[in-house]
Chain A
């Protein structure tokens, strides 16, 4: 008989082993799923995990790793701060959209003027927009005790409507022959988040993600605010006893997460995406939740998890075009990762014991 037994303290090895086991389990279950869809599972897994990095066309895909990884890491870092404290911001997708709208809005407002100051202003506007969108659930929670999970999630749908309205109305390209969508910022040098090294995929968003990783690492391990965040997540009553003001922490965590998600949106709209369109958002804000947990809510873990998740995005696209796998199958594959991770996580606090029923 299998039995779960609580460990006297959390296992350090399993904290880091769990993501690896989860990835392997996802590959097995995902392979079975692809087999059921009539595809060769080994080819499908190779296409997703191997081809983007080492195939003949890898030179084309490798930069994409940074382009897709940067927003995921940037958003996940912000989310992880709140998650550590038990503050569940599920609405990063909305903050990402509003950040993009604010950033693009500032850029478009200056068009066609050129100036070095335009891009920095857009960066600030993007961060502020995401921050402001996150402040709605934060203030409602602190003032009225509403549930931040519900409010932040519902605001995603509000943000999507706002995005559609902007793409069709206020921000529509006047020279766009009536098609929805804004001017392309890639063709507006002062507002373009261009590649810093041509062909590398490295843009300012990647730089911001790296800075965020380092900032979060220092905050969580060396600073009293990070300690209070962890303490609040582990033992809220002990945190209040230590002197943490829970309301202030909600504002800080949601605000930082919103600002980072807004930044991610702004770097995306002014760089790889180029313009505000109805289908601008592709779910980075939700995928970042998986990234945050897969990375153990640890900055360095998130960096690795973000790159891994970017890989499944790129590999998934290749698998779609080359093998004809449905997009939903790829999304399921990503979802499985979180599912297996949460399941394997039990091992951190419990150990399995094989016991034989004693003869009475």
Chain B
């Protein structure tokens, strides 16, 4: 545990207009799990890309296992013993596990031999995986195992993991942690990037915290609190969203027996979903990614039509209506994917304000557009939600993820919805922006709006939701008040075992 596997000295990388990393130095010891913490845009990705050979540092040196290390490309990094599991998987849905792994290898062995090795590695590290299953049929957790095994086959000395738990149920997280502990016991060092502070406190031996490209601290996470870690990341004192007591009104949104086929071959169709949300209530829907979240949002926004009575607003059947008509009666949505779904990347913020605001903000009169008003609306969103941008004329893609998220959530919130449905409202958003978005959702509920939050961040749901349900393979679990739930039970609901649990009682 004493020798550093990787030591970084004074790494600096500047892009036009922004310094991503400035003079960052730290060491990763043999056999430790080292957390890399920071808000979005703090420079974690750039740093990791430099270690993995995707980006070349402007200044600074790295020493890996006692030798000078300057990988020109990922291949060189892998040859030296550095492996990386990315947040977004690079797998082909239509191929099986072994074929996918073979595609990433420079000299793939025969498929049968490879399958044998995959079995061997998966058993050694407690990651059960059948090499001949088609990847399209695997859950997100199983897909991640494919990526991890792909890395382990290279016998790495340093394993980099970028937000590995964002797609896992609590039980799957526990399995992953056991695997990682096994690896560290063998002397592998792990560089672990995450936003989830409690997780880092249980798993990681050391944490390096970055803010605005600079290292601000190295500490032992177990000795500090999650709140203290967060405040080091943000550099200010954090406000926890406040919930004021609110009275629930009538049922605003009602789904009864909602079943919709997914338009994509590897999507997840919705099966017999029923729920009610009252005015002033926040309903949280959890679940592992790919279990029908996108489809549910589509069925509510009007992108996917259903039987008229399956979706009701204030008792009125709206399942057959399209997005425009639903906006007219106050059912607004904010999808998960910011670029390309919630916003058009190359269009300006003014045009993106027009995208959903044309009707309710009266930016359009008999088909003719009022760009002056649209600009005003965009400016109002930018101001109220503290969106950092030079102005509404800038393209959506020029904004950072967190800022664009504030814009797309703000755009719907400012239209005074009767019912607001958001999917992953704070995904990839830094802590202070996330707090602002959650506060805005709670304020909206306090004003009598029915809010549905679909999210994979359980801490978020526990913080803002009044009641909680989980999506599993397109079905919805029983919905229960959050106050009577603990993380263990939520995990069971997400895994689809809620029926068994009921049977026990």
Contacts and interface: CB of A to CB of B under 8 A. Distances in A.
Contacts of A10: 346, 395
A243 B324 contact: yes
Contacts of B324: 242-243
A81 to B, nearest CB: 16
Interface in A1-26: 5, 8-10
A46 interface: no
Contacts of B303: 240-241
Given A231-B347, A241-B335, A242-B355, A224 B364 contact: yes
B340 A235 contact: yes
B162 interface: no
A234 B352 CA distance: 12
B405 interface: no
A237 B303 CA distance: 9
Nearest to A237: B341
A9 B355 contact: no
A238 interface: yes
A330 to B, nearest CB: 36
A245 to B, nearest CB: 7
Contacts of B333: 241
A82 B496 CA distance: 47
Contacts of A240: 303, 323
Chain B CB within 10 Å, residue with most, of A235, A240, A360: A235
Contacts of A223: 367-369
Contacts of A8: 395, 397-398
A230 to B, nearest CB: 8
Contacts of B358: 224
Contacts of B355: 231, 238, 241-242
B342 A238 contact: yes
Contacts of A241: 301, 303, 323, 333, 335, 341-342, 355-356
Contact of A235 (B16, B345, B367): B345
A143 interface: no
A222 B370 CA distance: 8
Contact of A238 (B16, B340, B395): B340
A188 interface: no
Interface in A227-256: 227, 230-231, 234-235, 237-243, 245
Interface string B344-383: 1111000100111010000010011100000000000000
Given A224-B367, A224-B369, A237 B337 contact: yes
B343 interface: yes
B60 interface: no
A224 B354 CA distance: 9
A225 interface: yes
Which of B70, B301, B324, B344 has the most CB atoms of chain A within a 10 A radius of its CB? B344
A216 B218 CA distance: 60
Nearest to B321: A243
B302 A222 contact: no
B490 to A, nearest CB: 30
B337 A222 contact: no
Given A237-B341, A243-B324, A243-B327, A9 B369 contact: no
A9 B340 contact: no
Given A237-B341, A243-B323, A222 B368 contact: yes
B394 interface: yes
A106 to B, nearest CB: 32
Given A10-B346, A224-B367, A227-B354, A243 B340 contact: no
B257 interface: no
Interface residues of A, number: 23
B447 interface: no
A238 B323 contact: no
A173 B303 CA distance: 56
Contact of B351 (A225, A227, A237, A243): A227
Given A227-B351, A241-B323, A9 B394 contact: yes
A207 B358 CA distance: 34
Contacts of B347: 230-231, 234-235
B342 A227 contact: no
Contacts of A235: 340-341, 343-347
Nearest to B335: A241
B152 to A, nearest CB: 30
A231 B347 CA distance: 8
A86 B340 CA distance: 15
B267 interface: no
Nearest to A226: B369
B322 interface: yes
B397 A9 contact: yes
B70 A231 contact: no
Contacts of A239: 344
Contacts of B301: 241
A230 B351 CA distance: 10
Interface string A300-333: 0000000000000000000000000000000000
Contacts of B322: 243, 245
Given A9-B397, A241-B335, A360-B70, A234 B344 contact: yes
A137 B351 CA distance: 31
15 contacts: A5-B16, A223-B368, A224-B364, A224-B367, A231-B347, A231-B355, A234-B344, A235-B343, A235-B344, A235-B347, A241-B301, A242-B355, A243-B302, A243-B322, A243-B324
Interface of B: 16, 56, 70, 301-303, 322-324, 327, 333, 335, 337, 340-347, 351, 354-356, 358, 364, 367-369, 394-395, 397-398
**8 nearest A-B residue pairs (beta carbon):** A243-B324, A243-B323, A235-B344, A9-B395, A234-B344, A8-B398, A237-B341, A238-B344
Given A231-B355, A235-B343, A241-B355, 13 more contacts: A8-B398, A224-B369, A225-B367, A234-B345, A234-B346, A238-B342, A239-B344, A241-B341, A241-B342, A242-B324, A242-B355, A243-B322, A243-B327
